[in-house]
Chains A and B, each alone.
Chain A
């Protein structure tokens, strides 16, 4: 195991965590923009997407370079593969965050409608899931990663509640339909972020234990 190899692995780890931090921040800003009708934050997220995408391309190229140059085996190979997978997941998370920001921007420019009551909880849970799954990449805590997977059910429940609430709202007052649809779209994207956080957690379990855990349970 040469110096260069070690250094490259370390660099890779740092880069993927940096991307994670950027996406985490984007999610936080996008959801805050949604909850507090902050156009400025929403725009910041939308403007920042490009930087995140560029960084993700960079990470992928790094991974391929490491594979080609060093031909790692066993644990190191699993690590590089995990980085590639996590990178892809983070990229999609970033996209979803941008979509949420776009919806938030749209909503901030029209008269306010009351937020669905479960939205607060959903945002908090999703933020926590993202944070935990990224933390687990550092600590290799498979127990924490498993908990992230479990929390996904909470988020799914929130989404269903939100759906019902908005559907009723639209029925009561068709005027709010446009805004309610923005809201619904934002929530959908939030739920997808939760799923991707679960993916990252599963990727980590693979890395730590060498077993693939996804698709074990059928989604209800």
Chain B
């Protein structure tokens, strides 16, 4: 506080003002007192002169006798006044202090001159030549019977007694002034301190609010202007706090929305500085956790397509679409869509880019394309064969019955193949559409397995493949469609036999398992063969429709390419799952887990 220049200015200012006022008061009052004392003296001397004029003057001009002079002198002494009688020329006739003979011409004395001119009062203050003291002189003219100037009466007194009389008054005034000054000094201090403190408190709270402490408030006393100021300030601070909160809430909300989106969002301003990049965008652009807001977009990510598309959309003022084909083999396929941002005056202020991971989408599109192509091909081949053979038969009426029989048999084979294909397609389509099951029954998997085994025994025998099944003691109840389940097991065994060379082995194994973390038990069917195996890169894809590892061979063996797809969908539909293990050249094990019913 003591260092505050404002405090000192305030204090010094107010105290100074008070002191100046006091000074003026004291000076004026003492002056007035003095003037008043002087006037009083003047009046007294004038009265004395008047009296003397009546009493003594006629006599003096004739020549004052000594006795009278003595009398005058005694009188003068008694009333402490010096009396001087002058004639009309200024010559001293009588004087109570000096010998008149020795005194010079007084006609030029100021009070005399004034009296001659008729001025009333005719007085002056000066140092007496003769007495060497300051004296106050008053002169009165004396007029004779004819009204002509006959002489002057002059009275005088020392001024020092008057001064002496004033002295205590002056002293009293000075003391009073000093007391008042001290009082002012003392009382000014708390006043200045209060104002200064209020100011400092306000400054400190304002500074703290400016640096983020929005909840700070003043605590001014309730009264007066300061109180009003304090309340106004507090209201303003509260308002500010609300605004800041509101803005922060809004901003957090927007961030939360952006963070919760599936798409990546990047916003830049006109200077290509990143305004915002949400988490998904960071992942897709591989930016990581780095602080990117405030960086140029081309500093944040080196993928050139990102900057290009944003700049283009800002320049062309319209949405632009593009794609990130990051690396040819790895990395997701990302679709880019950028649009310009304009303010209320239609000025471009930035651009926003939305990133969409369309890898899966593209893959599915690819699969669909492949599927359609495959189906067309699969259907066309037998049809072409059928048509060819029918045409041949029709074109050649000479054909022998034997030949015709052979051809027609082949037509029937192809027709059968078509039929199987169409049936499989329908099955698959039905499975994939998740149509509600009408035919859900309780079945014992062991029976299904046994049935399949019986059906495929001849085929296994013909290829000298050992086909066997290991069945559990207890029933394996599952809930499903009998036809579908049969197809599932059939397809697995069919595949196994198809891809196992002669002399190999296909082993089925059925048992209950209770996997960790699952809340129910499963029936696990394993079909293990000693066949040619499946390479790692094909392993994930064998369950896809029409996927064939070795296209030529599979078609030759009469497959539709849909077998495993059906297996997968039947299992999934029942709430189970499929998996496989394989060692190329050694064999493959397919595994199907189906939920057990009690």
Contact = CB atoms under 8 A, between A and B. Distances in A.
B327 A138 contact: no
Contacts of B328: 29, 32, 38, 40-41, 44
Interface string B276-309: 0000000000000010000110111011100000
Interface in A90-146: 134, 138-139
A18 B327 contact: no
Given A21-B303, A21-B304, A14 B327 contact: no
B298 A14 contact: yes
Nearest to B328: A41
B329 interface: yes
12 contacts: A10-B296, A17-B298, A17-B299, A17-B302, A20-B302, A21-B304, A24-B302, A25-B327, A29-B328, A32-B330, A38-B329, A138-B299
A158 B298 CA distance: 33
A138 B329 contact: no
Contacts of B299: 13, 17, 138
Interface of A: 10, 13-14, 17-18, 20-22, 24-25, 28-29, 32, 36, 38, 40-41, 44, 134, 138-139
A185 B316 CA distance: 47
A14 B296 contact: yes
Interface residues of B, number: 13
A18 B329 contact: no
Given A14-B298, A17-B299, A32 B290 contact: no
Contact of B295 (A21, A29, A134, A138): A138
A29 B327 contact: yes
Interface of B: 290, 295-296, 298-300, 302-304, 327-330
Contact of A36 (B300, B302, B304, B329): B329
A18 B296 contact: no
Contact of A134 (B296, B300, B302, B327): B302
B329 A21 contact: no
Contacts, number: 36
A36 B330 CA distance: 11
Contacts of A32: 327-330
A16 B328 CA distance: 24
Contacts of B330: 32
B367 to A, nearest CB: 22
Given A28-B327, A36-B329, A134-B302, 19 more contacts: A10-B296, A13-B299, A17-B302, A18-B298, A18-B302, A18-B304, A21-B302, A21-B303, A21-B304, A24-B302, A29-B327, A32-B328, A32-B329, A32-B330, A38-B329, A40-B328, A41-B328, A138-B299, A139-B290
B273 to A, nearest CB: 11
A38 B328 CA distance: 10
B34 to A, nearest CB: 76
A32 B328 CA distance: 9
Contacts of B302: 17-18, 20-21, 24, 134
Contacts of A41: 328-329
A138 B287 CA distance: 12
Minimum-distance CB pairs A-B, first 4: A21-B302, A138-B299, A14-B298, A41-B328
Contacts of A134: 302
Contacts of A44: 328
B315 to A, nearest CB: 16
A134 B24 CA distance: 83
Q: Could you say which of B295, B327, B329 has the most chain A C-beta atoms within 10 Å of its C-beta?
A: B329
Contacts of B327: 25, 28-29, 32
Contacts of A40: 328
A10 B296 CA distance: 10
Most buried by B among A10, A20, A134: A10
Interface centre among A18, A25, A38, A138 (most CB of B within 10 A): A138
Nearest to B287: A135
Which of B290, B296, B328 has the largest count of A CB atoms less than 10 A from its CB? B328
